[in-house]
Amino acid sequence: MSAVPHHNRHVPTQASDDAFAEVKAKVDLVKVVQEHVRLTKRNKDFWGLCPFHQEDSPSFKVNPQMQSWYCFGCERSGDVFTFVELIEKTDKRGALQMLAERAGVELRKLSPDQKERADLRKRILDMLKLAAQYYEYVLWKMPAGEPGRRLLESRHVGEETARRFQLGYAPAGRGFAEYLRAKKRSLADAQEAGLMRRDGTDFFAERLVVPIRDERGQVVAFTARAVRADEQRKYINSPEGPTYIKGRVIFGLDGARDEIARRGHAVLMEGQFDVITGHQFGVTNAVASSGTALTEDQVRLLKRFTDELLLVFDADRAGREAARKAAALAAHNGMRTRVATVPDAKDPDEFLRAGGAEALQRWQEVMDKAPSGFEAGVAEFAVGLNPSNSNSVETVGARLRDWIRQFPPNLHEAYAELAERKTGISRHLLLRDPEPEPVRPATNGAGARSHAAARKMTPSHYLVQLLAVRPIAFDRLNGRLTPQELDEDDRGVYVRMLETYERLGPSGLEAELVGYPPEEQDLIRRAWAAPPPNVDDEVAVELAERIRLEHMKGMHSGIIRQLSEAERGRDSERVAQLEAEARELARAITDMERRG
């Protein structure tokens, strides 16, 4: 047999072998696995559901004596390194790096790039931990924290709950920078962690600061809420980076995981303050997706701790859409869901605070009536069904057929039978393949709709779609935008939706839609069927500010053109007037860009 060329084979060095051995000696496989899998001890071994394939009964065994694991279902096996490789989707060197950090073992053989990334991540985590301690101290121990304490009092959040979430307050100015200098810590690391601006001012200045912690309780980012009424952006967040990817973190999970295990389910909400208020009023298994659409990574993370989610999202159309998507995604990961809608309130935070001493009792009554995620969708899609009208039956049947197909195929038969019992529509109709749409020659109206569908997604068009899905966001746009600042194609539908909202509230659009022009009906229905990626009040505000800024820039360009004409015509009075207008508008543009 010919010798294998040296560059094609890997011979571990003694140093790397020593590193693996040292790390393996210092970490306990059972503890590592328990962060991802619920284990039950049987005799000397531990058993749980395999995290690497779908199963209903435990076939995943951990042997603490041998520090090894084996799954009788998928037949994977290995030690602590192979487990971390698979669960974290990394290679052996990456697993070594993660476990070494956990065990406090310094790796001398990392590549320069790997070591730089590992060092940066560690420094950022240390800085975030320090910042959380600083902000919490300011909130409770310093006069500068008074605005934060007043905000918590107004939201009925007591000190015990606030400390459980490690809430803090970032004062105005350069207090954090001075604190770091006193402790001889790096200001550059604080900037890298998204805590400080280049001029040394605190990124979260004059805001109540909420640490975002991973499931182990490690601070990985912050979100911060404004305390001043004139602050245009209610919330600002840490940027994503080496320690934080928003779609992989569940807010509040570190504090709720034990209660989730005890109660057998997690209450999944949208916002951080929903969760904080929930814990204040006794809903201590509440967690949040932090305003994002629930992701596959978040579902997998939740499945480590429970098989059931109670979805309590905002009561508007966007919240219902998010709940439907979450129910289908959870089902594909082997999780059950129920969906609750709080009455007479826009979200769980408002509902609980309005309930006073009876809040928890009222909450439990609503939760006890929560239907399954699938049934909630059936009820919503069947609104307006007239069983004696064949067109109505076909329309609702098509919606339910699409809804059933969003779930795993093995559930289709049972769900079609359930939908039949709820609506009276034959399960055979619900399970049949849809007929292909006939190709029709385009009429003038169809051409207009096609043109509308193909429109470029400008900030103006995005805002109109967002408002169609979430009309309540109009409240946040008061004084921030005029119809004239929108694209010409969007002004009519914007004004019509605003008038409807002001007269009839959030549900008015559905009631009056049939009276809108056909092209506007088409735009709104398409927004309902396929909402924009992010649908919340803060996005609406940011879009409005961006639209106004672009409008102001356009006005400024127009004034400059008029100024050139006035200068050519030697109209000195007109020149002076236009120069003053241009200066005033330029200042306003600069101020707006600086705030943004």
- The string of DSSP codes covering 17-35 is HHHHHHHHHHS-HHHHHHT
- 357 lies in the same domain as 392: no
Confirm whether 4 is domain-assigned. no
Whether 446 has a pLDDT exceeding 50, the answer reads no
Q: What is the pLDDT of residues 479-506, one digit of tens each?
A: 888 888 998 889 999 999 998 888 888 7
Conformation bin of residue 541: beta by default, left when phi > 0, alpha when psi is -120 to 50: alpha
Tell whether 565 and 594 lie within a shared domain: yes
How many structural domains is the chain composed of? 5
Q: With 50 as the cut, is the pLDDT of residue 233 above it?
A: yes
Q: Is pLDDT of 443 > 60?
A: no
Q: Which two tokens stand for residue 227?
A: 């305390």
Among the listed residues 497, 439, 488, the one whose alpha carbon sits nearest the alpha carbon of residue 466: 497
Q: What is the pLDDT of residue 16?
A: 53
* Range with the poorest average pLDDT among 142-151, 297-306, 308-317: 297-306
Are 123 and 90 part of one and the same domain?
no
What pLDDT score was predicted for residue 330?
95
Q: Within 13 Å, how many C-alpha atoms sit on residue 269's CB side? A: 27
pLDDT at 40 over 60: yes
In-domain check, residue 554: yes
Q: What is the domain range of residue 158?
A: 112-244
439 domain residue, yes or no? no
Same domain, 143 and 256: no
| Residue 438: inside a domain | no
pLDDT in tens, 204-213: 999 999 999 9
Q: Per the domain annotation, does 364 fall within a domain? A: yes
Residue 473 within any structural domain of the chain = yes
Cα atoms found within 13 Å of the Cα of residue 66, Cβ hemisphere only: 12
Q: Are residues 159 and 188 in the same domain?
A: yes
Do 347 and 400 share a domain, yes or no?
no
Question: Could you tell me the pTM of the whole model?
Answer: 0.62
Whole-number Cα distances in Å, 487 to 335, 356, 386, 551: 44, 45, 40, 9
User: Is 296 in the same domain as 316?
Assistant: yes
